[in-house]
C-alpha cells in the first residue's frame, strides 16, 4: 500500500478482543453528540427500545430478510411494474480500505471468471495506474457474475470521502448494497455517509462484517455499532433487522456466524439473492435508461452506462436522448454491451432491469436519459451534494515553463478542465479573474489532487494555488463547511493531537477508550479550513501512529481565524544550480527540499524555514577561490532533502504560494503576483 493511505491500515494499532466492548464516553460527550448529530431524544428512546427488544448481536437470528424490499413505488406505477427474478444489481459500499475491491476479487474468483491457470493480480478492479499506485479505488467500476441462474451485476465503489459523489451517482443503478464494515474498526465516517445515501434511496442493505480473519476481530461490537448507526439514520424497523454476513474477502470465505464460516462465499451470494430484490421494471413500457456513468474507448468513443429502467434496448435502434423534457435530440445505438464477468460483452438486445453500456451516442452525458424515439420522457436528474473545497489552476508562469510538458497554454488547460466535468459530476470549473486562471471546486483536496495527478500524467504543465473552502452567505452571515474528524490516537500522543485540533477550532464531542493498548478515539467537529494540512501535522505530532478520518458534516457559522502554519519558507534568491557549499549553510536555517546540482529559479521554495516569515537564500553560491591553499578542508554532511509528494505540497503551500506541476517535476514557488518582500 502506498504512502497516501498507508497510515490508514499499516500503522493501525491492533485492538484486543478482550476489551472489545469497552466504550468509555466522557460525561459531557453524549450530550454534545446528540446536538451535533442532531439526534432527537425520540431517536434515543427508540434506540433503547430497539436494543431492549432483543436485536443485539447475541440474540439476532441468523437468517434474515425473506421479505425485505426497497420502498414501494406508487400504486399507479406499481400496477405496470414487475420484478425480475433473474437479475440482482448491487453496489459494494464502505469506508476507505474496509476491503470492497478485495471482496469483489473473491466473488469473481469463485464464479470461475478466470481460467484455472490464469495469473490474477490483486484488486483487479482497481485497474487504472493511479489506483494501483495509491492502493485506493478512485472510480466506481462494473462487473457481473452468475450465481446459480441469477446474474449479479456488481459495482465496486471508492471508499474515500472525497469520492462520495461517485458513490451517490452509482446508487441510481442498483436495488441494494453490500455495506462492508471492517471487523475491527467497525462503522467509520464514510460508512455513515454511504449508508445514509443507500437508505435515502430505499435500497436493501446486507451488512458484511469483513476481514473476520483479523486476530483482533470483534464482530459483536461491529454488528452492534452498525445497528446503532441504522437507528441514528432513522432506518425503518425492517431495515434495522438487517442480514449480517461474516466474511474474509481475502480468503474468499463467508458465513452466517463468525465462528462458522463456509469454505467459500456461498453464504454471501445466498444473502444477496435472498435479501436484495431483483429490479422492478416496466417491461413493456417505453424505453428509458438513465446514463449514470461514462467510459471512453479509443475506437468506440463515449460509452454511456446505466440500468435499463423500462422497455428494451436493441442494437441499431433509433432513440431520443433527453437532458430535460424540452431538450432532446435523436441518435442511433451502434453497439450494445452487458457486463459479464470482467469484460464488456456485445449483445443484440438488453431487457429492462439489466445494466448495460451503449455506444454510438457520441455526445452522451451523465444524467441524460436514453428514451423511446416517439414517446420517451427523461428520468429525474441525478442529485449531488455540493463541492466544499476550491483551488485556482493557472498556466505555468515559472521560468522553466514548457521544458517538461506537452500542453502548456491556457486554452489547453481550459479545455482539459471543462472536459473533466463530463464524468466528474461532483466537480465544478469556473473561469477565474484572469484569462489564465480557472477555479476548480471539488468534494475535498484529494478529489482535486487526483485530477492534478491525472493531468500531469497526460502531459499538462500548470500551477495550482492552495485549497480554500467554499463559504456561503445566509442572511448576510458567513457560513463555512464543517467536518466530523475522528482521530484514533495512542494515549501517549493525545496531548499534542488535542492541542493541534484545538488550535484549528475543532470542538471535541466524544472520546472513547479502545482496546487494551491505551488507544483512544476522539471525535471533533472542525471547520474544513482547519483540516487543510492537518493530516501531516497529526502524523508528525503522533510519530505516525494516529489515524485521522474526516467526513463532511454541514455548514455552520464562521468559526474565526485559523493559523495553520507557523513556519515560513526558504526561498531561492536567484536563478542557478544549487551547490553543496551553499546548501551546507542553508540547512542551518531549516529543512531543505533541494540537493546539490539542482536547477532552481528566483522565488522557488527550496525549504521550510524554522521560523515564521520567509527567508531568501542564495543556494547557488560557490565557494570563493583564493590563492591560499588551506589544509583545513572541513567536510560537511548534508541532510537528505525532504521529499514532498504532490499531496504534501498542496497541504504545505499558503495563500501567497503556488505548486508548479509538470509531467516530470513538482516544485513550489512564491506567487510572483502576490510577492511580499522576504527578509
Ligand atoms: N486481513 C484481511 N485483510 C484484507 C481483507 N480484505 C482486504 N484486506 C486488505 O485491506 C486493504 C484494503 O483492501 P481493498 O480491497 O483495497 O479495500 P477497499 O475497500 O476497496 O479500499 P478503497 O477502494 O480505497 O476504499 C488491503 O491491504 C487488503 O489486502 C480481508 O478479508 N482480511
Ligand atoms: Mg477499492
For 382-414, the pLDDT digits (tens) are 876 778 899 999 999 999 999 999 999 999 999
Res. 626 pLDDT band, cuts 50 70 90: low
State yes or no: pLDDT of 116 exceeds 70.
Answer: no
Q: Which ligand is nearest to the CA of 190?
A: 1
**How many angstroms does the Cα of residue 134 sit away from the middle of ligand 1?**
13
pLDDT computed for residue 79 by the predictor: 53
Burial of 220: CB neighbours in 10 Å, binned 0-12, 13-18, 19+: middle
Which residue do the cell numbers 474498526 mark? 185
Atom of ligand 1 nearest to the CA of 160: 25
Rounded mean pLDDT, 3-24: 31
Atom of ligand 1 nearest to the CA of 5: 24
3-state SS string for 265-308: CHHHHHHHHHHCCCCEEECCCCCEEECCEEEEECCCEEEEEEEE
Pocket of ligand 1 (CB under 6 A): 1, 9, 94, 96-102, 123, 136-137, 158-160, 210-211, 213-214, 248-250
pLDDT in tens, 196-217: 999 999 999 999 999 999 988 8
Atom of ligand 1 nearest to the CA of 95: 25
Q: Which ligand is nearest to the CA of 249?
A: 1
Atom of ligand 1 nearest to the CA of 159: 25
Task: Check: CB of residue 489 under 8 Å from CB of residue 519.
Answer: yes
Q: Which ligand is nearest to the CA of 99?
A: 1
Res. 25 pLDDT band, cuts 50 70 90: very low
pLDDT computed for residue 38 by the predictor: 29
pLDDT computed for residue 139 by the predictor: 85
Element (H, E) at 446: helix 445-457
Rounded mean pLDDT, 429-437: 92
pLDDT computed for residue 564 by the predictor: 67
Q: Which amino acid residue places its CA nearest to atom 24 of ligand 1?
A: 136
> Given 3.60.20.10, 3.40.30.10, 1.20.1250.20, 3.40.50.300, which CATH number is that of 76-280?
3.40.50.300
Q: Which amino acid residue places its CA nearest to atom 27 of ligand 1?
A: 1
Three-class SS of residue 138?
Answer: coil
- pLDDT higher at 497 or 519: 497
Three-class SS of residue 155?
Answer: strand
**How many angstroms does the Cα of residue 605 sit away from the middle of ligand 2?**
36
State yes or no: pLDDT of 160 exceeds 70.
Answer: yes
Rounded mean pLDDT, 494-498: 91
Angle between helices 494-503 and 534-541 (to 10 degrees): 160
Atom of ligand 1 nearest to the CA of 248: 31
Sorted by where each begins, the domain ranges of the chain are: 2-59, 76-280, 282-372, 472-557, 569-623+634-670
Calculate the alpha carbon distances from 104 to 175, 180, 345 in Å. Answer: 18, 11, 19
Q: Which amino acid residue places its CA nearest to atom 21 of ligand 1?
A: 97
Average pLDDT, whole number, for the chain?
Answer: 82
Q: Which amino acid residue places its CA nearest to atom 32 of ligand 1?
A: 211
The Cα 180–Cα 575 span in angstroms is 53
In 3-state terms, the chain is what percent helix, strand and coil (to 5)? 25, 30, 45
**How many angstroms does the Cα of residue 190 sit away from the middle of ligand 2?**
13
Other C-beta atoms closer than 10 Å to the C-beta of 476 total: 5
Atom of ligand 1 nearest to the CA of 98: 19
Res. 676 pLDDT band, cuts 50 70 90: low
Q: Which amino acid residue places its CA nearest to atom 7 of ligand 1?
A: 99
Least confident of 310-314, 427-431, 566-570: 566-570
Three-class SS of residue 390?
Answer: strand
Burial of 259: CB neighbours in 10 Å, binned 0-12, 13-18, 19+: exposed
Give bridge partners of residue 143 from the DSSP assignment: 154
From 608, 616, 619, 607, select the one nearest 577 (Cα to Cα). 619
**How many angstroms does the Cα of residue 138 sit away from the middle of ligand 1?**
14
From 207, 112, 223, 90, select the one nearest 157 (Cα to Cα). 90
**How many angstroms does the Cα of residue 100 sit away from the middle of ligand 1?**
6
pLDDT computed for residue 398 by the predictor: 93
Which residue do the cell numbers 454510438 mark? 360
**How many angstroms does the Cα of residue 494 sit away from the middle of ligand 1?**
28
Give yes or no on whether 472-557 and 569-623+634-670 have one common fold.
no
Q: Which ligand is nearest to the CA of 161?
A: 1
Give bridge partners of residue 177 from the DSSP assignment: 91, 205
Element (H, E) at 148: none
pLDDT computed for residue 342 by the predictor: 66
**How many angstroms does the Cα of residue 135 sit away from the middle of ligand 1?**
9
Tell me which CATH code domain 569-623+634-670 carries. 2.40.50.250
Which CATH architecture is the domain 472-557 placed in?
Answer: 2-Layer Sandwich (3.30)
Which CATH architecture is the domain 282-372 placed in?
Answer: Beta Barrel (2.40)
Neighbouring residues of 172: CB distance < 8 A, sequence distance ≥ 6: 201, 290, 292, 306, 307, 382
**How many angstroms does the Cα of residue 156 sit away from the middle of ligand 2?**
7
Atom of ligand 1 nearest to the CA of 94: 19
Rounded mean pLDDT, 31-44: 34
pLDDT computed for residue 560 by the predictor: 86
Least confident of 237-246, 440-449, 558-567, 631-640: 631-640
Other C-beta atoms closer than 10 Å to the C-beta of 439 total: 18
Q: Which ligand is nearest to the CA of 122?
A: 1
Report the share of the chain in percent with pLDDT over 70: 83
Atom of ligand 1 nearest to the CA of 136: 24
**How many angstroms does the Cα of residue 161 sit away from the middle of ligand 1?**
16
Amino acid at each position: 500500500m502506498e504512502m497516501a493511505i498507508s497510515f490508514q491500515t499499516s500503522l493501525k494499532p491492533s485492538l484486543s478482543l478482550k476489551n472489545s466492548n469497552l466504550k468509555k464516553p466522557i460525561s459531557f460527550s453524549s450530550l454534545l453528540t446528540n446536538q451535533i448529530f442532531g439526534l432527537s431524544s425520540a431517536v434515543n428512546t427508540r434506540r433503547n427500545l430497539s436494543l431492549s427488544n432483543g436485536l443485539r448481536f447475541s440474540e439476532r437470528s441468523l437468517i434474515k430478510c425473506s421479505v425485505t424490499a426497497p420502498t414501494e413505488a406508487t400504486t399507479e406505477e406499481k400496477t405496470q411494474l414487475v420484478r425480475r427474478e433473474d437479475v440482482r444489481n448491487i453496489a459494494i459500499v464502505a469506508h476507505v480500505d474496509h476491503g470492497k475491491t478485495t471482496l469483489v476479487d473473491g466473488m469473481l474468483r469463485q464464479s470461475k471468471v478466470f481460467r484455472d491457470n490464469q495469473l490474477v493480480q490483486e484488486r483487479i478492479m482497481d485497474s487504472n495506474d493511479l489506483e494501483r499506485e495509491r492502493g485506493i479505488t478512485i472510480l466506481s467500476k462494473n462487473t457481473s457474475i452468475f450465481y446459480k441462474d441469477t446474474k449479479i451485476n456488481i459495482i465496486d465503489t471508492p471508499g474515500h470521502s472525497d469520492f462520495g459523489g461517485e458513490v451517490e451517482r452509482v446508487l441510481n443503478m442498483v436495488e441494494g448494497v453490500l455495506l462492508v464494515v471492517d471487523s475491527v474498526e467497525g462503522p467509520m465516517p464514510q460508512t455513515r455517509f454511504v449508508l445514509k445515501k443507500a437508505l435515502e434511496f430505499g435500497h436493501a442493505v446486507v451488512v458484511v462484517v469483513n476481514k473476520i480473519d483479523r486476530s483482533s476481530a470483534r464482530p459483536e461490537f461491529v454488528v452492534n455499532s452498525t445497528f446503532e448507526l441504522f437507528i441514528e439514520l432513522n432506518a425503518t424497523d425492517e431495515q434495522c433487522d438487517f442480514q449480517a454476513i461474516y466474511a474474509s474477502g481475502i480468503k474468499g470465505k463467508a458465513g452466517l456466524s463468525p465462528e462458522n464460516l463456509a469454505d467459500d462465499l456461498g453464504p454471501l451470494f445466498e444473502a444477496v439473492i435472498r435479501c436484495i430484490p431483483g429490479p422492478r421494471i416496466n417491461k413493456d413500457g417505453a424505453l428509458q435508461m438513465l446514463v449514470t456513468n461514462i467510459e471512453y474507448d479509443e475506437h468506440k468513443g463515449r460509452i454511456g452506462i446505466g440500468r435499463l429502467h423500462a422497455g428494451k434496448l436493441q442494437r441499431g435502434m433509433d432513440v431520443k436522448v433527453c437532458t430535460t423534457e424540452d431538450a432532446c435530440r435523436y441518435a442511433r445505438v451502434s453497439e450494445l454491451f452487458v457486463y459479464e464477468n470482467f469484460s464488456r460483452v456485445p449483445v443484440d438486445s438488453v431487457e429492462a432491469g439489466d445494466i448495460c453500456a451503449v455506444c454510438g451516442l457520441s455526445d452522451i452525458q451523465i444524467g441524460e436519459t436514453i428514451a423511446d424515439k416517439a414517446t420517451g420522457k427523461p428520468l429525474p436528474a441525478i442529485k449531488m451534494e455540493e463541492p466544499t473545497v476550491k483551488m485556482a489552476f493557472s498556466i505555468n508562469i515559472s521560468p522553466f515553463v514548457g521544458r517538461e510538458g506537452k500542453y502548456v497554454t491556457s486554452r489547453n488547460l481550459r479545455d482539459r478542465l471543462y472536459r473533466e466535468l463530463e464524468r466528474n459530476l461532483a466537480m465544478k470549473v469556473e473561469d477565474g479573474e484572469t484569462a489564465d486562471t480557472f477555479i476548480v471546486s471539488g468534494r475535498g483536496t484529494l478529489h482535486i489532487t487526483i485530477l492534478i495527478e491525472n493531468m500531469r500524467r497526460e502531459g499538462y504543465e500548470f500551477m495550482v494555488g492552495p485549497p480554500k473552502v467554499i463559504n456561503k452567505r445566509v442572511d448576510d452571515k458567513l457560513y463555512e463547511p464543517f467536518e466530523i474528524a475522528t482521530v484514533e490516537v495512542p494515549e501517549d500522543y493525545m496531548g499534542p493531537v488535542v492541542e493541534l485540533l484545538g488550535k484549528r477550532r475543532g470542538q471535541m464531542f466524544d472520546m472513547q477508550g479502545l482496546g487494551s493498548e491505551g488507544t483512544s478515539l476522539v471525535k471533533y467537529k472542525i471547520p474544513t479550513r482547519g483540516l487543510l494540512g492537518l493530516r501531516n501535522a497529526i502524523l508528525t505530532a503522533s510519530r505516525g501512529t494516529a489515524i485521522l478520518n474526516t467526513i463532511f458534516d454541514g455548514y455552520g457559522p464562521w468559526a474565526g481565524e485559523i493559523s495553520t502554519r507557523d513556519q515560513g519558507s526558504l526561498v531561492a534568491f536567484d536563478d542557478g544550480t544549487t551547490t553543496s557549499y551553499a546548501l551546507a549553510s542553508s540547512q542551518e536555517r531549516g529543512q531543505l527540499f533541494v540537493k546539490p546540482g539542482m536547477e532552481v529559479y528566483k522565488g522557488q521554495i527550496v525549504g521550510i524555514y524554522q521560523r515564521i516569515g520567509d527567508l531568501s537564500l542564495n543556494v547557488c553560491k560557490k565557494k570563493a577561490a583564493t590563492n591560499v591553499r588551506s589544509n583545513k578542508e572541513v567536510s560537511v554532511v548534508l541532510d537528505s532533502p525532504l521529499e514532498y509528494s504532490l499531496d504534501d505540497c498542496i497541504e504545505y503551500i499558503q495563500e501567497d504560494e503556488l505548486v508548479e506541476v509538470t509531467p516530470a517535476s513538482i516544485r513550489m514557488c512564491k506567487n510572483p503576483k502576490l510577492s511580499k518582500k522576504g527578509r
